[in-house]
Structure 1
């Protein structure tokens, strides 16, 4: 590569002409880059050509050297708003004497080094057209242009051209083709371009899929105000929708879907509507209105008039704005807020096809809004939360996938690596030889045949898009995980089992480009430990190759195994008996837990030790405290007791119940929450407010984290700390722990591009597998 600045000695004068070959890699196709290059070259009176290839965006440009420098600088500084340039190569080329600048047809070659663009929210220009009755796109649900619209969800193959998307079934009319072929038009080479004459169409059906004649919008508004539930085919799959103001309809939706308490997301007509119900910071407003248009978890206003069963037991609400023209058309003056929850039966992948949606959702939805543009790649909505001024992912999917994350790799030892992901909140990750990691869209739970088939299909498509095949595979060492079984099926690969919490630690390291030993604080619900027990409150020290377990929460038996996860009072009972003895523990349990009919039988199971696996889990500790305080005694969705308890921690007091680090002599350190339970029972007897008790519990955990890291640092000399695990979605815990460690001189690294839950673990698995392969290391040690 010869930068322009290095070729000044080759110039004769500013009027002498040169030729350059430019290659841009990254998200450079389907984002208006070719018309941008074309118009920039025309503006500067340069000649040559631009094209999309499987290598990226290629440019051959000729002209005076001063104009070429301006041309290169403006590509770097003023790219199209949806473009992301990961690398840009500029080389001297042979002069060809072109008389004009043109856009050449795409080429297909052996090497692929381009990205499928993420789907993008409808732009302001298209919105204007949708509501302009003089425009031919008036009220058209599939209006799009180069700056917005479907991308990843419709693409089938490379290069990214209409013929290789699900829009190939819709030949363009003369007007659309004229816009498509006009480099000065914002629809120039916009692959999904369409209008009412030539594009997809919407229909409204009953629950059996029979089309209902008439205007679909009129019917929809009527049904919504009647309290009906409507399945809506969107960008990446189906939503189940109803009027968010109708408490009875929301309850009916929960009953039909079997989702009694998990928060439901809503879609608001506009930002003003959002602000009627929630607090919205400037940062949150930018997220809601951005091209990714995710669900943003917001704090509800104190006197929010919305039904409490939208998010039972929570003070927050997941909100998004309309991100397609179809969504815009779902609102009018009377309809301002709709429930928009994932359209899938509980435990199954998101529905994306019309026939299957009718078959599987027909017992939930009264009606369907469907269209005939196929969804190639199902993609759930992304979910984000702003915490302490930092954007955190709860779920990384639509709008962000398939953007890459750069991780550390040795360029002298390139390899393609797969991180298979976990069992819940699954995403997998493919890493190319240059260290570009491509986390997949959200897969969800991999515990059904349908989910496993979706996983295989999505992995196959990622391999085709990236034109790679894994050579190395990292997977969770849990013997029962389906994701690990799927990973083991992949032929001709070197495979590495990665301990769950090591994977979490490595994910934060990789995302932050760390390649050195660190202290890992990993707090979550469940992970298979090296000793065969359930881990989940782990203080590790190590790197990608190996780790040492320096400290953990004391083990507690889970009465009935998985039953204890679904019934948190069982974990409370186990803790009470452990720290107060069987007689007093049972007495306290009867007094505070209230399950008199089951407590005695559960205590007998605990005494027998049958089906009582040991766990050192932060998630189960939160469960026990939540149940003891009466916050949540039955779990209906993952993390419910901890989430509801966490929302009660408001910082109302700086008091705590003491640190769980009571002795630094035994190795590994064993953290005892006995002080927490004794303190909670004292405060409960005194009638202290539940917010104060929750805060004191959190403060104890925060101080324990800082004290334990301090001891480990004294033993290892390490000062860099990484946080990971689902418990760190707890805003108060994460912010206060990070702040306290910062005061003590530690550098704390967290997730910023991936979820801290198991949705990000795939990146760590890939990093561990790669470096173990590179250094020929394959064995975990305690």
Structure 2
């Protein structure tokens, strides 16, 4: 006897070919019924033999389309209707909005074959796409995900495109960005040219700097092998040293420039198409100015049809902005802001609704370790404990925000450093867009306690109960949420700075933490930060703070005595910090690797590049026996100085220092385990983007019997802070029933 079942599918199931997939699955099993989109996801009614309906439900979960993410399938019994056939019905925009929007996806193999097929009507068309690929998040203006709610609304489909769009058997069925040369967006070049694409390719080959409108904003492109072209781009963009990313036409070109393993290749060619940080070959054909002082380079493969047509050799492809500005994504703004940087502009008339930078990842032990989570990843949600809707505002650097609802955490695309009005406006606009898109009305706002962060000021201006989450607790909570763990754990948070509960600047922390709260078990011994922010820009000041002798080369500068005196004076001119990032700065300065920086973390990055991976010896740092212990970072600096005076090579010293930090991490974690019985360590904070340190710390901890948690879905840097804040606010509210989210008084959740 036939039965009829109502089915609801939730997750990333709109704009990914899910309805035609359901249609094909149902008709293949001889079932009748219907499928459609609504504001909550996909609704289905299916009628037939019970065993065939069982196979249908199994297929929904096990074999969804390439870009779909099935989170939940629920069923209910319906009265049998006896109707024949299976129909795809129109979308229902009413009801509570819970549908998810998929991330932008790289051009699929089917579209690439058409792109290069002279017999295809879309041959050479730079906006080819289908239900399995193309723009999604960057063009969506509302839900449900239908063409009127995208920036393709202004492009009326021609007859052939409309026929594909309406045919359930076609892979472009209800592909909202579907178009062709007759009805879709078109390329233009500024200054004008008869053939924009060919002219743009010729400009790049001749050494010009080209502005290119991509999926989430404008890029600046230059021929990567040309010293003069890359130097011109660097000079005009006011980007002194920070490495540029490089787009290569294919995997063969990537292999010529870098050494790749299977996991790195998979990241490069996956649908997300991030920038992947890779070890460059010694004689790679890249201009020295691409990544000065760096043994690594960020590579990416083409991810739009335009890139496939434009990039025939390696090109630098960097965000279309001047230093410290958000990426330009509107045409008029790009023409104004990038004038004087770009020699020409390759543009198109499909509007970008949400500016989205490229994502950046590394591979660590076969898994992705995000450095910047943006295009290709956002706005796909991460799981979080159910609770009241939360807006988490993140920190200041590498800003993201996070909105939660119904067990989902929507971590935003990368916003940038919240240090100017333009970036703050992008932050505010992004929050409003996410609130509308996912129909979230937050009932709590979580924020960093630092009173001068623009994200904190924004949070406190909202008419919502506020939850302050200490910066390093948020780091550890982010790692816990990333791994689906509640804690308690031993949290190791190493970064540049964050306001501590005692009013000093923390950054080398050993915590006992769960999602509700934390206590400080130990930390790097505090040292002065002479000149405050000036010491961040000038790492030689940290060498002075660590008491480096005045006869070393780093001290041969007229300001040395004054800065040494400033360090001795203490606050407010030299506030105390336990920052691990500043310890790396001090060692980099002593070794003359870098005494001034032009971007965050530069000294530590270049110190890592100099470290000899074959060196296994480690410096030692004393750890006190106090209840809240301190680790003597000055001991490491002292051994660096001793080896330097003994004539030891800088790469060996750099490696011994890294090994020493890994060793103190293991020793301190063992100290906490002895006191608490905890056997799991969570590693977070920007310092753990250092692969040399991370590998040796994880190895040492596992050898000592610890389970180790690292990041794989959000960055360990401040880009993951908003997820940690949201997880803490949710846990506190759930455990105590107070909207203010006060920490529990029970260990380990006491904030000290």
TM-score scaled to structure 1, two decimals? Answer: 0.93
Q: Which residue of 2 aligns with 1:365?
A: 342
Asked if 1:634 is matched to 2:604, the reply is no
Instruction: Provide the C-alpha distance between the structure 1 equivalents of 2:732 and 2:679, rounded to a whole number of angstroms.
Output: 24
Deviation at 1:107, TM superposition (A): 0.1
After superposition, the C-alpha distances for 1:15-61 in whole angstroms (9 at most, x for unaligned) are x2111111110000000001111122222221110000011111101
Preserved contact between residue 385 and residue 407 of structure 2 (Cα < 8 Å): yes
Deviation at 1:608, TM superposition (A): 4.0
Q: Which residue of 2 aligns with 1:13?
A: none
Q: Which residue of 2 aligns with 1:35?
A: 20
Preserved contact between residue 652 and residue 691 of structure 1 (Cα < 8 Å): no
Asked if 1:543 is matched to 2:514, the reply is yes
Structure 1 unmatched ranges of 5 or more: 1-15, 207-211, 578-584
Alignment of structure 1 residues 84-233 onto 2, 5 Å:
84-206=69-191, 212-233=192-213
After superposition, the C-alpha distances for 1:375-409 in whole angstroms (9 at most, x for unaligned) are 00111111110022221000111111111111234
Preserved contact between residue 142 and residue 150 of structure 2 (Cα < 8 Å): yes
Q: Which residue of 1 aligns with 2:747?
A: none
Instruction: Provide the C-alpha distance between the structure 1 equivalents of 2:596 and 2:53, rounded to a whole number of angstroms.
Output: 67
Instruction: Provide the C-alpha distance between the structure 2 equivalents of 1:756 and 1:112, rounded to a whole number of angstroms.
Output: 31
Preserved contact between residue 650 and residue 732 of structure 1 (Cα < 8 Å): no
Q: 2:637 aligns with which of 673, 677, 680?
A: 677
Deviation at 1:667, TM superposition (A): 3.2
Deviation at 1:213, TM superposition (A): 2.6
After superposition, the C-alpha distances for 1:589-623 in whole angstroms (9 at most, x for unaligned) are xx321542222332343344461111110000000
TM-score scaled to structure 2, two decimals? Answer: 0.97
Q: 2:354 aligns with which of 349, 361, 377?
A: 377
Q: 1:734 aligns with which of 694, 703, 711?
A: 694
Instruction: Provide the C-alpha distance between the structure 1 equivalents of 2:86 and 2:732, rounded to a whole number of angstroms.
Output: 50
Q: Which residue of 2 aligns with 1:781?
A: 751
Q: Which residue of 2 aligns with 1:745?
A: 705
Alignment of structure 1 residues 451-600 onto 2, 5 Å:
451-491=423-463, 493-576=464-547, 585-587=549-551, 591-593=552-554, 595-600=556-561
Instruction: Provide the C-alpha distance between the structure 2 equivalents of 1:426 and 1:213, rounded to a whole number of angstroms.
Output: 39
Q: Which residue of 2 aligns with 1:758?
A: 718
Alignment of structure 1 residues 43-54 onto 2, 5 Å:
43-54=28-39
Deviation at 1:174, TM superposition (A): 0.4
Alignment of structure 1 residues 704-715 onto 2, 5 Å:
704-715=664-675
Preserved contact between residue 552 and residue 670 of structure 1 (Cα < 8 Å): yes
Instruction: Provide the C-alpha distance between the structure 1 equivalents of 2:499 and 2:437, rounded to a whole number of angstroms.
Output: 33
Preserved contact between residue 407 and residue 511 of structure 1 (Cα < 8 Å): no
Q: Which residue of 2 aligns with 1:6?
A: none
3-state SS of paired residue (1:85): strand
Instruction: Provide the C-alpha distance between the structure 2 equivalents of 1:157 and 1:197, rounded to a whole number of angstroms.
Output: 26
Q: Which residue of 1 aligns with 2:746?
A: none
Asked if 1:418 is matched to 2:429, the reply is no
3-state SS of paired residue (1:597): coil
Deviation at 1:484, TM superposition (A): 0.9
Preserved contact between residue 193 and residue 199 of structure 2 (Cα < 8 Å): no
Deviation at 1:767, TM superposition (A): 1.4
After superposition, the C-alpha distances for 1:339-368 in whole angstroms (9 at most, x for unaligned) are 000111211111100000011111211110
3-state SS of paired residue (2:259): coil
Instruction: Provide the C-alpha distance between the structure 2 equivalents of 1:502 and 1:607, rounded to a whole number of angstroms.
Output: 30
Preserved contact between residue 248 and residue 254 of structure 2 (Cα < 8 Å): yes
3-state SS of paired residue (2:491): strand
Q: Which residue of 1 aligns with 2:678?
A: 718
Instruction: Provide the C-alpha distance between the structure 1 equivalents of 2:174 and 2:416, rounded to a whole number of angstroms.
Output: 34
Instruction: Provide the C-alpha distance between the structure 2 equivalents of 1:500 and 1:64, rounded to a whole number of angstroms.
Output: 56
Deviation at 1:561, TM superposition (A): 0.9
Q: Which moved more, 1:216-225 or 1:238-247?
A: 216-225
Instruction: Provide the C-alpha distance between the structure 2 equivalents of 1:731 and 1:781, rounded to a whole number of angstroms.
Output: 31
Q: Which moved more, 1:214-223 or 1:244-253?
A: 214-223
Deviation at 1:313, TM superposition (A): 0.9
Preserved contact between residue 247 and residue 311 of structure 2 (Cα < 8 Å): no
Asked if 1:60 is matched to 2:45, the reply is yes
Query: What is the Cα-based RMSD across aligned positions, in Å?
Result: 1.3
Q: Which moved more, 1:769-778 or 1:601-610?
A: 601-610
Preserved contact between residue 166 and residue 173 of structure 2 (Cα < 8 Å): yes
Preserved contact between residue 495 and residue 769 of structure 1 (Cα < 8 Å): no
Q: Which moved more, 1:150-159 or 1:554-563?
A: 554-563
Sort the Cα spacing of 1:574 and 1:58 in 2 relative to 1 into closer, same or farther, 3 A.
Answer: same
Q: Which residue of 2 aligns with 1:10?
A: none
Asked if 1:285 is matched to 2:265, the reply is yes
Preserved contact between residue 408 and residue 514 of structure 1 (Cα < 8 Å): no
Q: 1:606 aligns with which of 567, 570, 580?
A: 567
Instruction: Provide the C-alpha distance between the structure 2 equivalents of 1:128 and 1:547, rounded to a whole number of angstroms.
Output: 54
3-state SS of paired residue (1:544): coil
Asked if 1:695 is matched to 2:655, the reply is yes
Deviation at 1:673, TM superposition (A): 2.0
Q: Which residue of 1 aligns with 2:242?
A: 262
Preserved contact between residue 619 and residue 656 of structure 2 (Cα < 8 Å): yes
Preserved contact between residue 187 and residue 348 of structure 2 (Cα < 8 Å): yes
Instruction: Provide the C-alpha distance between the structure 2 equivalents of 1:558 and 1:83, rounded to a whole number of angstroms.
Output: 49
3-state SS of paired residue (1:169): coil
Q: Which residue of 2 aligns with 1:429?
A: 402
Instruction: Provide the C-alpha distance between the structure 1 equivalents of 2:81 and 2:75, rounded to a whole number of angstroms.
Output: 17
Deviation at 1:504, TM superposition (A): 0.7
Instruction: Provide the C-alpha distance between the structure 1 equivalents of 2:461 and 2:121, rounded to a whole number of angstroms.
Output: 51
Preserved contact between residue 227 and residue 242 of structure 1 (Cα < 8 Å): yes
Q: Which moved more, 1:50-59 or 1:606-615?
A: 606-615
Structure 2 unmatched ranges of 5 or more: 744-749
Preserved contact between residue 187 and residue 197 of structure 2 (Cα < 8 Å): no
Preserved contact between residue 385 and residue 730 of structure 2 (Cα < 8 Å): no
Q: Which residue of 1 aligns with 2:581?
A: 619
Q: Which residue of 2 aligns with 1:9?
A: none
